Amino acid sequence: MSTPATSAHDGQSGTFPDLQKLLSRTGPMANVGNYGTIFDPPLPFEPSPEILSFMQQHARVLVVGAGGLGCELLKDLALSGFGKIDVIDMDTIDVSNLNRQFLFRKADVGRPKSTVAAEFIMKRVSGVTVEAHFCPIQDKPADWYRQFQVIVMGLDSIEARRWLNAMACSLVTFEVDMETGQRKPDLTSVIPLVDGGTEGFSGHALAHPLPPPLRHVHDVHVRVMYPCVSGCFECTLNLFPPQQAVPLCTIAETPRNAAHCILARWPRLRGRYAHLIEAPKQFGDEKQDKDDPAYQQWERAAQFNIPGVTLMHTQGVIKNIIPAIASTNAIVAAACANEVLTNCAAYVNNNLMYIGGQGVYAPTFRYERSPECIVCGAGVQVEIAGSATLTQLLEQLAADPRLRLKTPSLRCEAGALQDDPTLYMRGVLEAEYRPNLDKPLSQLFADGSVLLVTDPSVPSPCIKVAVKFASLALS
């Protein structure tokens, strides 16, 4: 069912009379006062009728994700006066998306989300240009991200947020303060990030876990980040619990809950290990269709007297479905779009949390920068015995909750004891550096050396890790 355009937008002429009034004069909320700006000196609001013209003709906004939150973001930004919007998403439309991702129709199933969303917005809101990009965010180079004035994230994974946050931080250039000698970010190179996240009745405009008394409530947030100026996503990564893997023996021998029973029958979720448990007995090498009821049976639950394994629950586990409510998406997307419109609220707290399941509870607070942040800070230091092997160091780095690496490669920035500073590299050159894995660290680099770590979880530049050799007593 179509709805008329909001009062802020004249659907026929493409003008925004309400925005023109708002942006061409000042008001009490525009005074920075003592609101705790992250900028020194504060950035004042200077009313001008040219602001709307800039928003419509020159400002470029990137929306990352065209799912439930992304659809709302595109609609809100287009109706807020932004005339040049890009949207990037690597997914195609599924039937299960249609109940809340309102830019899609049944005839669109199978088509790229970004393409269909862009077509719908341009058809619905006159004068707006939406450019679609059907690809992973990692496929775009740094110069492509550099062209945007603001990036709005409607993502559903920590990994994608980490990568995009690191990319935004890598785009920042620095200048030396002549009085203090300290490096300061050039604010003209800072691209603000607005992060929104929803789950169930809750949401945010930056993703973060709830404080302990509320952790049973689903998370919803809105967060504004200025790379290398305010706290970035990596600065608060420790607030996210690492993804818990279910032990294989639990799945195979004594499942304790409904999800364990489903995982035992669905090897695609557990990789090649779970593939050895149940599926070969039932289906052989046949390709598994997540929507086929034949793969969604729950005899294993009955075998162990575990209740609660319904068809809906089975689908939620095997398809990794996260609860999503359309009204929550709308609330969080509106908060994100409002932050973009107000220049990312430079003088208010940078995080908002909405708890819909407990009524309207929306506190705001600030995330501070971490001096040990691997993206915008000085990096981290690890201790390990000099007699330990390179394999042991790689294992320690992979297990470090501050880093959360997947498949790291290592190179010495300084202190290498070999002609080749590269210690270990994944991929086609892995065999060349494999002999280093069994060598003690004291033969590869000096105590206190700084290692450059590359990993798929973050884009270049590399992560810096200082390695201090622990004493014999500690080791």
CA dihedral 160, 163, 166, 168 (to 10 degrees): -70
Answer whether residue 220 shows pLDDT above 70: no
Average pLDDT for residues 153-158, to the nearest whole number? 86
> Looking at residue 353, what is its pLDDT?
66
Q: Which two tokens stand for residue 291?
A: 């929507």
Residue whose C-alpha is closest to residue 420's, from 410, 405, 406, 428: 410
Q: Which of 144-153, 170-179, 364-373 has the highest mean pLDDT?
A: 144-153
Residue labelled with tokens 């008001």: 27
Q: Among residues of the chain, what percentage have pLDDT more than 70?
A: 64
pLDDT band, very low/low/confident/very high, at 133 (cuts 50, 70, 90): very high
First to last CA, the chain: 68
CA 14 to chain CA centroid, nearest Å: 33
Q: Which two tokens stand for residue 380?
A: 């981290």
| Residue-wise pLDDT tens digits, 391-403 | 999 999 888 888 8
| Residue-wise pLDDT tens digits, 289-323 | 545 554 445 444 445 454 555 555 555 555 555 56
> Looking at residue 269, what is its pLDDT?
41
Q: Which of 7-21, 144-158, 260-274 has the highest mean pLDDT?
A: 144-158
- What is the reported pTM? 0.73
Report how far residue 258's alpha carbon sits from residue 268's, in angstroms, rounded to the nearest whole number: 17
The residue type at 410: L
Beta strand 422-424 with 409-416 is: antiparallel
Q: Do domains 248-318 and 380-470 have the same CATH topology?
A: no
Q: Which distant-in-sequence residues (6+ apart) come within 8 Å of 234 by Cβ?
A: 162, 165, 166, 169, 370, 373, 374, 375, 376, 458
| Residue-wise pLDDT tens digits, 49-94 | 788 888 888 899 999 999 999 999 999 999 999 999 999 999 999 9
- Of 233-237, 268-272, 355-359, 456-460, the range with the lowest mean pLDDT is 268-272
> Looking at residue 429, what is its pLDDT?
84
Topology of domain 17-239+334-341 in CATH is Rossmann fold (3.40.50)
> Looking at residue 441, what is its pLDDT?
93
Q: Which distant-in-sequence residues (6+ apart) come within 8 Å of 50 by Cβ?
A: none
Multiple choice CATH, 248-318, 1.10.10.520, 3.30.559.10, 1.20.1630.10, 3.30.420.40: 1.10.10.520
| Residue-wise pLDDT tens digits, 415-451 | 788 888 899 988 888 889 999 999 999 999 999 888 8
- Write down the mean pLDDT value for the chain: 75
The residue type at 260: H
Asked if 117 and 74 touch (Cβ cutoff 8 Å), the reply is yes
The residue type at 218: H
Report how far residue 146's alpha carbon sits from residue 169's, in angstroms, rounded to the nearest whole number: 11
Report how far residue 386's alpha carbon sits from residue 89's, in angstroms, rounded to the nearest whole number: 45
Report how far residue 327's alpha carbon sits from residue 455's, in angstroms, rounded to the nearest whole number: 37
Average pLDDT for residues 130-135, to the nearest whole number? 97
Average pLDDT for residues 187-207, to the nearest whole number? 71
Q: Which two tokens stand for residue 20?
A: 């023109």
For the chain, the C-alpha Rg in angstroms (whole number) is 25
> Looking at residue 452, what is its pLDDT?
87
Answer whether residue 285 shows pLDDT above 70: no
Beta-bridge partners for 174: 185
Report how far residue 86's alpha carbon sits from residue 27's, in angstroms, rounded to the nearest whole number: 31
Report how far residue 35's alpha carbon sits from residue 39's, in angstroms, rounded to the nearest whole number: 11
Higher pLDDT, 367 or 227: 227
Answer whether residue 363 shows pLDDT above 90: no
- What CATH architecture is 380-470? Roll (3.10)
Answer whether residue 139 shows pLDDT above 70: yes
Task: Answer whether the bond into residue 141 is a cis peptide, omega within 30°.
Answer: no
Q: Which distant-in-sequence residues (6+ apart) come within 8 Å of 117 by Cβ?
A: 66, 70, 71, 74, 87, 89, 103, 104, 130, 132
**Candidate list 249, 376, 412, 462, residue with the active-site label:** 249
Q: Is 258 exposed, middle or buried (0-12, 13-18, 19+ CB in 10 A)?
A: buried
The yes-or-no answer on residue 261 being catalytic is: no
pLDDT band, very low/low/confident/very high, at 44 (cuts 50, 70, 90): low
Average pLDDT for residues 123-152, to the nearest whole number? 95
Report how far residue 135's alpha carbon sits from residue 54's, in angstroms, rounded to the nearest whole number: 28
> Looking at residue 2, what is its pLDDT?
41
CA 402 to chain CA centroid, nearest Å: 16
Beta-bridge partners for 105: none
Can you give the residue ranges of every domain in the chain? 17-239+334-341, 248-318, 380-470
